[in-house]
């Protein structure tokens, strides 16, 4: 199952486990949250839940963890 990220446009390979799935997945590339619905290996719906990009009005403030 592959799905195009609505935020960065990258085609994510989610694997066979998502051939029949409904819920949220996270883009490995940009970290955006997508809500997808698939049925028998076919994408029925893709919706952008949360984008990491600042283009959306909805801006979330995340406390950055200092990693050294
Ligand atoms: Zn993405």
Whether the Cβ atoms of residue 43 and residue 5 lie closer than 8 Å to each other: no
Establish if 57 belongs to a structural domain. no
The pLDDT of residue 52 is 79
Alpha-carbon gap, residue 43 to 40, rounded angstroms: 8
CA of 15 to the centre of ligand 1 (A): 16
Q: Is 32 left (phi over 0), alpha (psi -120 to 50) or beta?
A: beta
Establish if 38 belongs to a structural domain. yes
CA of 67 to the centre of ligand 1 (A): 23
The pLDDT of residue 26 is 94
Domain count, the chain: 1
Question: Whole-model pTM?
Answer: 0.73
The boundaries of the domain holding residue 30 are 2-50
Q: Report pLDDT digits (tens) over 8-47.
A: 999 999 999 999 999 999 998 999 999 999 999 999 999 9
């Amino acid at each position: 199952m592959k799905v195009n990220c609505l935020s960065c446009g990258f085609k994510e390979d989610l694997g066979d486990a998502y051939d029949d799935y409904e819920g949220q997945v996270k883009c490995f590339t940009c970290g955006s949250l997508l809500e997808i619905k698939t049925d028998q290996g076919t994408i029925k719906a893709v919706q952008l839940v949360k984008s990491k990009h600042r283009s959306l009005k909805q801006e979330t403030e995340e406390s950055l963890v200092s990693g050294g």
